[in-house]
Amino acid sequence: MRTNLTLLTDFYEITMANGYFERGIGDKTAYFDLYFRNIPDGGGYAIMAGVEQVTRYLRDLRFTKSDIDFLRSKNCFSERFLRYLENFKFVCDVWAIAEGTPIFPNEPLLIVRGPVIQAQFIETMLLLTINHQSLIATKANRIVRAAQGRAVMEFGSRRAQGYDGAFYGARAAYIGGCAGTSCTVAEKAFGIPAIGTMAHSWVQLFPDEYSAFRAYASLYPDNCTLLADTYNVLKSGVPNAIRTHHDVLLPLGKRLKGIRIDSGDITYLSKRARQMLDAAGLGDCAITASNSLDEYIIRETIMQGARIDAFGVGERLITSRSEPVFGGVYKLAAVENDGEIVPKIKLSENVSKITTPGFKNLFRLFSAKDGSALADVITLHDEKFDSAKPYRIFHPEYTWNKSVLTDFTAVPLLRRLFDKGRCVYRLPTVQEIQRYCKEQMDCLWDEVKRFENPHAYYVDLSKDLWELKQKLLDNYT
């Protein structure tokens, strides 16, 4: 939420920048890919998020006098380099996958092309931003799918990893499908509905539970939801909620909107509470459950017949507690020598860490019959698709695993954000992103969206890119 984040970077980014400058290679054009290797929670997909914040960071990137003075105090940077930073102007080209798009391992989520001194420097903030928001958007989407159409509210601000984690986590959770957030500033900034009623302390501060409910209903008759578990859900909470409805709301021509259960066996309690509310003529009164929920607990409660209309999910969403690291990386893929693109590769004994070289593009192939996503293909940047012809895809490691696709449409996924440092991307609203995310998720096979042992979505290399990679592997081995 700070405006000047220029020095939010790993220190070695600055030492390398100084080194590039002093060696006279700072203007050498380099190509970097941002991608991730593993899907959190063993899932079948992730959700792209954070592009708006990346765009704003790059658009505002500059070094203030205070930044320069601090770097000078380190006594390890040349004055010539510091003067360069004083007049710094971002001039890179940047492409990224749109927020809300389902994404998969090893495909470029974001590509940067420009002077190596700049393209290298921005690594930390790009990874920080995309990793965090994609992680939370992915977790939120899993939880929302587990709720099977019931509303999910993000309630995690007080458990987030810092205030930026709460603020941007609320944004990412909304992209993933949450209906609202407890984080008030997220509505002010993004238009995400801020939701909330009362805490247990409200109930405890009054002489008794009924007095607390009565006071709240008098203040908020149009949207009255009462917290029913401060003392005893079935013996006092629900009966007092029903009494408040009849004594306070009905005379005003209003109805009790809901109750919330925040502890205990929410499956059992929701079933009994539903019976009591229905018997009192409150069949339209919603039941919301909270208390350390995640996609697995929500799925189990629904399977067991819980009568819950909405879920409030806190710490296990906003921190992605089950797997709190997204693991995106930022790797050099090519450089230019006298205008010629020279691909670069990083080798490793760990096959998953071998990079894919070259200046690339990314296409998603959709079935022309039903619109389902068939596969993603990473290509060289100037490759074209002819949808009128059959296209052979193959696993980049298990090359005998092949398939021929026909009757498909190839859609490029990478969108240009910056043209030589000038922002050319219209930032969609978070509401537009959420709708787009739902549309794109509907294109994935159900097998890919399973929580356990999901089908592996196909991400393949084009024949030309695969051959380029093999050629470089042969040169270095």
Q: Is the pLDDT of residue 1 over 70?
A: no
Q: What is the DSSP letter of 156?
A: -
pLDDT value, residue 128: 98
Q: Taking a C-beta distance cutoff of 8 angstroms, is the pair 71, 14 a contact? A: yes
Confidence band for 386, pLDDT divided at 50, 70 and 90: confident
The distance of Cα 428 from the centroid of its chain, to the nearest Å, equals: 15
Percent of the chain with pLDDT over 90: 94
DSSP codes of every residue in 267-306? HHHHHHHHHHHHHTT-TT-EEEE-SS--HHHHHHHHHTT-
Q: Is the pLDDT of residue 477 over 80?
A: no
Q: What is the pLDDT of residues 276-311, one digit of tens each?
A: 999 999 999 999 999 999 999 999 999 999 999 999
**Which 3 state secondary structure label does DSSP give 107?**
coil
CA nearest to 196, candidates 179, 218, 211, 176? 179
Torsion of CA 156, 154, 296, 371, to 10 degrees: -140
Confidence band for 2, pLDDT divided at 50, 70 and 90: low
The verdict on domain 144-318 having CATH code 3.40.47.10 is no
Q: Is the pLDDT of residue 240 over 90?
A: yes
Selecting from 3.20.140.10, 3.30.565.10, 2.60.40.2140, 2.70.70.10, what CATH number does the domain 11-136+324-476 have?
Answer: 3.20.140.10
Q: What is the pLDDT of residues 205-216, one digit of tens each?
A: 999 999 999 999
Residue whose structure tokens are 């991730």: 36
Average pLDDT, the chain: 96
pLDDT value, residue 231: 98
Amino acid identity at 266: I
Residue range(s) occupied by CATH 3.20.20.70 in the chain:
144-318
pLDDT value, residue 68: 98
pLDDT value, residue 235: 98
Q: Is the pLDDT of residue 121 over 70?
A: yes
Residue whose structure tokens are 């989520």: 109
Q: What is the pLDDT of residues 160-176, one digit of tens each?
A: 999 999 999 999 999 99
pLDDT value, residue 388: 85
Q: What is the DSSP letter of 44?
A: S
Amino acid identity at 254: K
pLDDT value, residue 268: 98
Confidence band for 400, pLDDT divided at 50, 70 and 90: confident
Residue range(s) occupied by CATH 3.20.140.10 in the chain:
11-136+324-476
Confidence band for 352, pLDDT divided at 50, 70 and 90: confident
pTM above 0.85, yes or no: yes
Q: What is the pLDDT of residues 320-334, one digit of tens each?
A: 999 999 999 999 999
Q: What is the pLDDT of residues 125-137, one digit of tens each?
A: 999 999 999 999 9
